Amino acid sequence: MTAGRGLRVLFAVQGEGRGHLTQALALAGMLRRRGHHVVGAVAGTNRWGDVPDFFRRGLCAPTETIESPGFAADADGRIQPVGTVLRAVRQSRRFARSLDHLSATLDRVEPDVVVNFYEGLMGLHTLLRVSDAPVVAVGHQFMAAHPGYPLLPGQPLQRVAMEGYTRLVGANAATRLALSLYDAPDRPGVRVTPPLLREQLFALADRETDGSILVYLMEPALAPQLAAWSDRHPGVRVHAFAAMAPLAHSPALTFHGLSGTAFLERMAVARGVVCTAGFETVSEAMWLGTPALLVPTPGHYEQRCNAADAVAHYAGLRADTLDLSLLLDYLGSHTADPGPFRAWVARAEGRAVGAIEQAAGLSRLGGDGSRNGLPEVATERAADT
């Protein structure tokens, strides 16, 4: 790049679930505030074929989709490791076409840097194809190599698969941003970074609760379990968001399609939130001070570890089944103080954008660091030492 303009940044995003998508939206705003340009996004999809409308609208940049590997799950939402591998093998020719699409996009867009939100095909591309653009890999999963993160016993095949996929995503990356619920020392090639939360969340602070419970279902197959619980507890108002058509199941339970804005607005007034132990929803709940019931997706090793990590840092409690009664009991005896977590989140822009600028060589332009907020980055780094 030249010294007269900001960075041209291309996103690669794992398109399943809302976590990586909302992280990308948050980082896009941070980059633009620093004078950089998000020139587009390539999203890997599998089961649902496209990214939600809220991502396309919110990114304000061209978004393309490619076919990418995804988890295989049974009718109850339980992850099937062998089925996941077999399906990936059967679809390998399609993924080869996706790599070609990535190469063509990089040649056409000519980004200064690529930010990869845990999309495995982008990691594979860095191993197999030549590109001039450095890659910054982003994911909570990079915390798995940190000594402070709990790697639980059991499910050895899933653990190996998670660690292998994370290494693939970070392959040949200039740096890796390990998104974390708490501050921790950096590791070689890994910068511990606060959650990347969107601006819309910050405008919703400290609203009064309406007494409802909010549920995010990563797996729509879990909807019947939630409906059964609601039928037994008709006095509890529940709003559920999932990748499914909107449905009013009963006066007490309403299913909504995925919507970033509506979900946050509901969370700001909810008594508690139930989610499947991903990272983004837990982070948003902690910032709002909304206690969470974490229900790891059955058979999903990474989510088991995420739940243990979050509970250890006062996000709420975990359960093995979608039993909202546990959350109601918890709410009767616990309160949340979002202050310390909000202070950690406030450091996200300096750490994340500073790492991207450094990967692209921008930190070497101008000895006084006067461009694109570099004094903030320098202050942030000094505070970390």
323-343: pLDDT as tens digits: 999 999 999 888 778 999 999
Q: Which of 324, 237, 229 is nearest to 275 (CA)?
A: 324
- Residue range 30-46: mean pLDDT, rounded: 95
| Same-domain status, 148 and 212 | no
238 compared with 321, residue with greater pLDDT: 238
Residue 274 confidence (pLDDT) above 90: yes
Give yes or no: residues 168 and 38 share one domain: yes
Q: How high does pLDDT run on average in the chain?
A: 87
> CB-hemisphere CA count at 13 Å for 213?
27
Phi, psi dihedrals of residue 122, rounded to the nearest 5°: -70, -40
303 occurs within a structural domain: yes
> Does any domain span residue 67?
yes
Q: What is the pTM of this model?
A: 0.84
Residue 248 scores a pLDDT above 90:
yes
Question: pLDDT tens across 58-116, in order?
Answer: 999 999 999 887 655 555 555 555 555 555 555 656 778 999 999 999 999 999 999 99
Higher-confidence residue of 373 and 11: namely 11
Terminal-to-terminal C-alpha distance of the chain: 30
Q: What is the CATH number of the domain that holds 109?
A: 3.40.50.2000
Query: Radius of gyration of the chain from Cα atoms?
Result: 20
d(CA 79, CA 32): 37
Alpha-carbon distance values, 155 to 128, 159, 180 (Å): 30, 6, 23
Return d(Cα 319, Cα 307) in angstroms, integer.
9
pLDDT tens, position by position, 138-156: 999 999 999 999 999 999 9
Residues 211, 243, single domain; the answer is yes
Same domain, 73 and 166: yes
Residue 3 lies in a domain: no
Same domain, 185 and 206: no
Residues 53 and 144 in one domain: yes
Domain extent at residue 208: 200-341
Reduced to 3 states (helix: H, G, I; strand: E, B; else coil), residue 318 is strand
For residue 135 the two structure tokens come to 């890659």
DSSP for 27-74 reads HHHHHHHTT-EEEEEEEEESSSSS--HHHHHHH-S-EEEEE-----B-
Q: Domain for residue 288, yes or no?
A: yes
Question: Does 166 lie in the same domain as 297?
Answer: no
Is 120 a domain residue?
yes
Q: Are residues 218 and 239 in the same domain?
A: yes
Helix 19-33 / helix 260-269 crossing angle, nearest 10 deg: 100
**Whether residues 235 and 379 fall in one domain:** no
3-state helix, strand, coil in the chain (%, to 5): 45, 20, 40
| pLDDT average, residue stretch 23-38 | 97
Q: Residue written as tokens 């529940």?
A: 238
Q: Is 79 helix (H, G, I), strand (E, B) or coil?
A: strand
- Does a structural domain hold residue 265? yes
| Same domain, residue pair 370 and 258 | no
Asked if 160 and 32 sit in the same domain, the reply is yes
- Tell me whether residue 136 is in a domain: yes
326 and 352 in a single domain? The answer is: no
Is residue 384 very low, low, confident or very high in pLDDT (cuts 50, 70, 90)? very low
Task: Say how many domains are in the chain.
Answer: 2
In a domain, 355, yes or no: yes
